[in-house]
């Protein structure tokens, strides 16, 4: 007598707990379903198929008979009784395998003068989606190894806004803290120690870098104040012994956070700025970190401006009909011309189930070049039909990338015009944000000398396509520098260079934070940036060139 979950040819049973919804029961059975809204029923990503059994869906009691299936949101469904058969679609299950994670840590030249010169240190980047850690020998300065896992907080909520909202509910702050420490960081530590023959008690110093909300949750401090005006953090600096946080190292190991600049410009950007040496550059330079939130900093003539813009998780596949994280079975690159003969590469398992952010950027940029997609993000429907790539999805025009018999889901993998619109909104938020920052300095895109790109996403996009889409300034790919995981590198420097700490404290007070919605430019720039590449054609003189 149990609730049985079926997924990918395997079945798992758990006892019913009437207090738990189907989403929570599935997690108890070891199946991690998407719940980007924190189980509030608004994201529509946790769909399951109810088989035989009695259920309450929202406020309605229903009975599903043998051989029947009923699709519902698992967060809004409860099992009534002791038995039920529930089937999990592949698109609803989070894949933690085969993730493409950029965990490079290119530490720039520095003075080797660690704060604790014996034992081992751990540099950690706490990302909204991914946690990456590097084990460092504090006697030699050498990096022994790196490990990464998805931040298990994604099981509860997908982005920082959702996590802030969750923290206003009783017990949820403690749950999120436990997920990132006990279920994400500690397993990473155990694997690093096992792989390199290190006793966990020999780890004496941890440096943690991440956005301001992640740091609050990590240290058990409510981030709710960041979600309301004037968006102030409780603190910009944190430090604690590992034992007090539940981190599985020496209990007296010092755990210090890279200090934050503001509520929405965090310690990860402080790290990026230090690693890129942005404020030591000549001319007009820009640093852009593209993720769920886009953070950017502009520097010129000793003036520093910074902002954050809510790009949303579209670049990670959220909100797209067949979007996926950059993990196994995700399409990650796309090339084609007017013949629509799609050349795809797929991460891990070669049978695809969706496409990730780098692929959708490729798709739109290539489509704009060959005339499949116009400047407003609309398809040439006749071309789609002529090449037999057309499908209508819920009344929307869609391009078929992978037919049903070649996909892991048994359904076509498509890109709808709604998907394109979601990406255009996300890229418009980034581009209009950086253009506004430059305007605040009295400058334009044409004055830019160099752009530094930080973060894992930047490691995997084709720069020429990001520019053609209108996501990044058209200043020539030779004027870009991709620094990779600057957040992790900044944490590494905090372990290896005693002067890094004072440098970070100096950095965080330099930027003038620009609230984009209060500027005279942002709304207009945003509207212009909704086109491909932009309604202001002067910004993109080389569009269409590879």
The predicted structure's pLDDT at residue 365: 98
Residue that has been written with the tokens 């968006």 in this structure: 231
The reply to whether 431 and 531 lie within a common domain is: yes
Mean pLDDT, range 25-45, rounded to an integer: 79
User: Whole-angstrom Cα distance, residue 342 to residue 537?
Assistant: 29
Residue that has been written with the tokens 């992978």 in this structure: 402
Has residue 196 got a pLDDT over 60? Answer: yes
Which stretch of 35-39, 140-144, 246-250, 439-443 has the lowest confidence by average pLDDT? 35-39
Has residue 376 got a pLDDT over 50? Answer: yes
Which stretch of 101-110, 193-202, 345-354, 469-478 has the lowest confidence by average pLDDT? 101-110
Mean pLDDT, range 153-172, rounded to an integer: 90
Mean pLDDT, range 16-44, rounded to an integer: 82
Give the model's confidence band at 58: pLDDT under 50 very low, under 70 low, under 90 confident, else very high: very high
**Half-sphere exposure of residue 329, counting CA atoms within 13 Å on the CB side?**
19
Q: What percent of the chain has pLDDT over 70?
A: 96
* Helix (H) / strand (E) containing 436: helix 417-440
Mean pLDDT, range 31-40, rounded to an integer: 77
Name the residue range of residue 74's domain. 3-92
Mean pLDDT, range 350-366, rounded to an integer: 94
List Cβ neighbours of 259 (8 Å cut-off, separation of 6 or more): 236, 237, 267, 270, 504, 505, 508
Q: Please, what is the Cα angle at 86 between 82 and 89, to 5 degrees?
A: 165
User: Whole-angstrom Cα distance, residue 295 to residue 287?
Assistant: 8
User: Whole-angstrom Cα distance, residue 80 to residue 55?
Assistant: 5
Residue 105 lies in a domain: no
The reply to whether 436 and 399 lie within a common domain is: no
131-157 tens-digit pLDDT: 999 999 999 999 999 999 889 998 888
The reply to whether 368 and 500 lie within a common domain is: no
The reply to whether 262 and 280 lie within a common domain is: no
Has residue 39 got a pLDDT over 80? Answer: no
Residue 109 lies in a domain: no
Q: Provide the token pair at 392.
A: 């209508």
Number of domains in the chain: 4
The predicted structure's pLDDT at residue 104: 58
Mean pLDDT, range 86-97, rounded to an integer: 78
The reply to whether 74 and 8 lie within a common domain is: yes
The reply to whether 263 and 167 lie within a common domain is: yes
Mean pLDDT, range 406-416, rounded to an integer: 91
The reply to whether 364 and 291 lie within a common domain is: no
Looking at residue 394, the DSSP 8-state letter turns out to be T
Residue 545 lies in a domain: no
The reply to whether 75 and 16 lie within a common domain is: yes
The reply to whether 306 and 328 lie within a common domain is: no
Give the model's confidence band at 73: pLDDT under 50 very low, under 70 low, under 90 confident, else very high: very high
Give the model's confidence band at 546: pLDDT under 50 very low, under 70 low, under 90 confident, else very high: very low
Four-residue CA torsion sign, 59, 94, 487, 523: negative
Has residue 545 got a pLDDT over 60? Answer: no
Residue 186 lies in a domain: yes
User: Whole-angstrom Cα distance, residue 363 to residue 373?
Assistant: 10
Has residue 227 got a pLDDT over 60? Answer: yes
294-325 tens-digit pLDDT: 899 999 999 999 999 887 678 877 778 888 88
User: Whole-angstrom Cα distance, residue 448 to residue 443?
Assistant: 8
The predicted structure's pLDDT at residue 28: 84
Give the model's confidence band at 413: pLDDT under 50 very low, under 70 low, under 90 confident, else very high: very high
The reply to whether 126 and 238 lie within a common domain is: yes
The reply to whether 304 and 429 lie within a common domain is: yes
Mean pLDDT of the chain: 92
Residue 98 lies in a domain: no
Has residue 54 got a pLDDT over 90? Answer: yes
CATH of the domain at 263: 3.30.420.480
446-481 tens-digit pLDDT: 999 999 999 878 888 999 999 999 999 999 999 999
CB of 345 within 8 A of CB of 331?
yes
* Helix (H) / strand (E) containing 79: strand 77-87
The predicted structure's pLDDT at residue 19: 82
The predicted structure's pLDDT at residue 100: 67
Residue ending a domain, choose from 361, 378, 408: 408
Helices (H) and strands (E) in the chain, counts: 15, 24
Nearest C-alpha neighbor of 521 from the set 445, 447, 433: 433
494-532 tens-digit pLDDT: 999 999 999 999 999 999 999 998 999 999 999 999 999
Residue 101 lies in a domain: no
Residue ending a domain, choose from 408, 431, 464: 408
Residue 211 lies in a domain: yes
Residue that has been written with the tokens 């048994």 in this structure: 410
Mean pLDDT, range 189-194, rounded to an integer: 96
The reply to whether 302 and 361 lie within a common domain is: no
Mean pLDDT, range 219-232, rounded to an integer: 95
CATH of the domain at 293: 3.30.420
Q: How far is CA 172 from CA 19, 157, 476, 516, in A?
A: 16, 11, 46, 31
CB of 431 within 8 A of CB of 517?
no
Per DSSP, the three-state class of 385 is helix
Has residue 91 got a pLDDT over 80? Answer: no
Residue 110 lies in a domain: no
The predicted structure's pLDDT at residue 415: 97
The predicted structure's pLDDT at residue 94: 76
Has residue 101 got a pLDDT over 60? Answer: no
The predicted structure's pLDDT at residue 437: 94
């Amino acid at each position: 007598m149990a609730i049985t979950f079926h997924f990918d040819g395997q079945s798992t049973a758990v006892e019913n707990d009437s207090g738990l919804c189907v989403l929570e029961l599935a997690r108890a059975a070891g199946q991690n379903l998407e719940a980007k809204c924190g189980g509030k029923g608004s994201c529509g990503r946790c769909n399951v198929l109810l088989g035989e059994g009695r259920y309450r869906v929202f406020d309605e009691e229903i009975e599903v008979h043998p051989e029947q299936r009923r699709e519902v949101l698992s967060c809004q469904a409860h099992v009534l009784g002791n038995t039920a058969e529930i089937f999990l679609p592949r698109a609803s299950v989070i894949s933690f395998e085969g993730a493409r994670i950029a965990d490079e840590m290119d530490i720039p030249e520095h003075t080797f003068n660690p704060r604790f010169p014996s034992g081992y240190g751990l540099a950690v980047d706490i990302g909204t989606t991914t946690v990456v850690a590097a084990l460092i020998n504090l006697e030699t300065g050498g990096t022994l190894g790196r490990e990464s896992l998805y931040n298990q907080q994604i099981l509860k909520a997908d982005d920082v806004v959702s996590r802030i909202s969750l923290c206003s509910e009783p017990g949820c702050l403690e749950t999120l803290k436990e997920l990132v420490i006990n279920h994400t960081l500690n397993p990473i530590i155990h694997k690093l120690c096992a792989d390199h023959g290190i006793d966990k008690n020999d780890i004496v110093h941890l440096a943690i870098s991440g956005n301001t909300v992640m740091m609050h949750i990590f240290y058990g401090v409510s981030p709710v104040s960041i979600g309301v005006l004037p968006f102030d953090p409780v603190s910009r600096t944190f430090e604690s012994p590992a034992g007090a946080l539940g981190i599985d190292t020496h209990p007296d190991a010092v755990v210090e956070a890279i200090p934050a600049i503001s509520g929405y410009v965090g310690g990860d950007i402080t790290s990026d700025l230090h690693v890129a040496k942005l404020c030591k550059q000549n001319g007009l330079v820009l640093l852009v970190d593209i993720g769920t939130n886009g953070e950017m900093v502009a520097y010129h003539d000793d003036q520093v401006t910074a902002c954050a813009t809510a790009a949303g998780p579209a670049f990670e596949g959220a909100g797209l009909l067949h979007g996926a994280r950059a993990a196994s079975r995700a399409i990650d690159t796309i090339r084609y011309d007017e013949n629509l003969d799609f050349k795809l590469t797929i991460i891990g398992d070669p049978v695809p189930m969706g496409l990730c952010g780098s692929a959708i950027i490729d798709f739109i940029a290539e489509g704009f070049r060959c005339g499949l997609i116009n400047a407003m993000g609309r398809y040439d429907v006749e071309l789609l039909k002529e090449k037999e790539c057309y499908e209508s999805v819920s009344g929307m025009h869609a391009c078929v990338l992978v037919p049903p018999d070649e996909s892991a889901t048994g359904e076509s993998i498509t890109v709808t015009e709604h998907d394109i619109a979601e990406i255009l909104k996300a890229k418009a938020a980034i581009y209009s944000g950086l253009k506004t920052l430059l305007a605040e300095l009295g400058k334009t895109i044409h004055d830019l000398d160099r752009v530094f790109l930080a973060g894992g996403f930047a490691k995997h996009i084709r720069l020429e396509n990001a520019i053609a889409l209108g996501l990044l300034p058209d200043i020539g790919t030779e004027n870009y520098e991709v620094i990779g995981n600057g957040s992790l590198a900044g944490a590494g420097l905090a372990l290896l260079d005693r002067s890094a700490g004072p440098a970070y404290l100096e950095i965080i007070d330099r930027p003038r934070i620009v609230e984009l919605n209060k500027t005279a430019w942002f709304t207009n720039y945003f509207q212009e940036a909704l086109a491909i590449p932009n309604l202001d054609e002067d910004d993109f003189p080389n569009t269409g060139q590879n």
